[in-house]
Amino acid sequence: MYSQPVTSPVRKPLTPFRPGVGYAGSVANDNLGAARKAKNDEFYTQFHDIEKEMNAYLEYNPDVFRNKTVLLPCDDPEWSNFTKYFAQNFETLGLKKLVSTSYAPNSKPKELDLHPTLFELESPQYDETKTASNGKIYTLDRDLNGDNIINVDDLEWQYLDGDGDFRSDEITALRDQADIIITNPPFSLFREFLSWIVEADKQFVIIGNMNGITYKEAFPLIQQNRMWLGATNFNTGMYFTVPDGFVYASTYKFERQQNGKAVNRVPGIAWFSNIDHGRRHQPLPLMTKADNIKFSKHKEVKGIGYQSYDNYDAIEVSFTDAIPSDHEGVMGVPITFLDKYSPEQFEIVGTSDNGLVEDFVKKTPGLTQEFVDAYYKDGGKGAYQAGNPTAGLYRFGVAVMVYKRIFIRHRKTTK
């Protein structure tokens, strides 16, 4: 099929990021819950966030992308900062080939009222019968315009045979030919997308909600050191460019503009990867248990100490900076701990969220009926039953359910 080089003036540096309903799934926070229209579900990854994340991998290994084929599925190449970054840096990174694919407009919410871009309409390969039903593929692997540089101006495009769904044979074949897969997949399909990558044994960098850490498809990979969090600290949230007419939640208190563009901060966003970076090998500076009890800035620890769970043989550590350096047993920590996790310093032995935990950590098969009864007697809310893997403890004599915990222990006890 005839393909035409892409000229840069027709593209805007935006990558669709849709953590709302329908096409992209949902993120449980007030801001996204305020999205009532499809245009409120359009989030675009900013160039500097992509560049910052990729730089971390390059700093650790300058040749990480050299002679590699990079696939950007679930993308919108005409608008994509992912495509722009890798095309713009094609020669600097030493890429072998760049492939970027998009979903067909018909596969997205109809409320978006999508229309072909002027670039597509004016292209020789424009096909009115395919523009709505077929995805697109952009490729870059050669100097087309004769300026002796391979960059964004040498991109070629054509329609896909199908709608661009990553589960199709067409996109799966592209996956099999790629070395590295990078994208922000639809959140509602995050589990399936991750499995799709892992089954092909590919390197990857993808964006997802931090709650994905404890998914059954994801947690074993983290525990086995086959996947980890990216270099960007997800505790700070990420700002995404939003379209005109975006409606902010009444509770939104963060920046609304950056560099002259409307932005929206989305909390709990994480990069997931199996490409190494130096930040994950930095050990946490820690105090001993005695020093934490004496000097901790957290009232839950200072002068009180650490409590044990009713159903797990582990102590509760509610704050990453309160992990005692000299505790020889298992500790339950928040999932945000993984942002500081060093595999040389700690061993992950399980999680309370889904019961994926080593047997030696369990005191009981799950919550006991006695504890559940005490919890509701003490005014507890929610739907808990005996046998649930949720971590529970008695705090000052009151039964408390503890939010998702990761169980860890020191690889070496530091005195």
Q: What is the pLDDT along the chain (415 residues), one digit of tens a residue?
A: 434 444 433 333 333 333 332 233 334 354 544 434 444 556 778 899 999 999 999 999 999 999 999 999 987 767 789 999 999 999 999 999 999 999 887 765 444 445 666 667 667 787 778 887 899 999 999 999 999 999 999 999 999 999 999 999 999 999 999 999 999 887 788 999 999 999 999 999 999 988 899 999 999 999 999 999 999 877 778 898 887 778 898 999 999 999 888 999 988 889 999 999 999 999 999 999 999 999 999 999 999 999 999 999 999 999 999 999 999 999 999 999 999 999 999 999 999 988 899 999 999 999 999 999 999 999 999 999 999 999 999 999 999 999 999 999 999 744 4
Distance CA 247, CA 364 (A): 48
Q: How many CB atoms lie within 10 A of CB 37?
A: 14
pTM of the prediction? Answer: 0.84
Domain assignment of residue 404, yes or no: yes
Angle, helices 47-60/81-88, rounded to nearest 10 degrees: 50
CB distance 294 to 302 below 8 Å = yes
Q: CA dist 328 to 171, 279, 315, 410, Å?
A: 48, 25, 11, 7
- Of 99, 147, 129, 139, nearest to 6 (Cα)? 139
Interatomic CA distance for residues 400 and 390, integer angstroms: 10
Specify whether 265 is located in the same domain as 357.
no
Structural domain including 398 reads: 282-410
C-alpha distances in Å from residue 109, one per residue of 38, 57, 132: 7, 35, 12
Domain limit, last residue, from 238, 259, 280: 280
For residue 168, is it within any domain?
yes
The number of domains in the chain is 2
CA separation for the pair 235, 232 (Å, rounded): 9
Is position 256 within any domain?
yes
Query: Does 165 lie in the same domain as 65?
Result: yes
Residue whose C-alpha is closest to residue 338's, from 229, 412, 231, 212 = 229
* Same domain (yes/no): 286, 274: no
Asked if the structure places residue 415 within a domain, the reply is no
Compute the Cα dihedral for 387, 389, 390, 391 and give only its sign. Answer: positive
Whether residue 123 sits in one domain with residue 71: yes
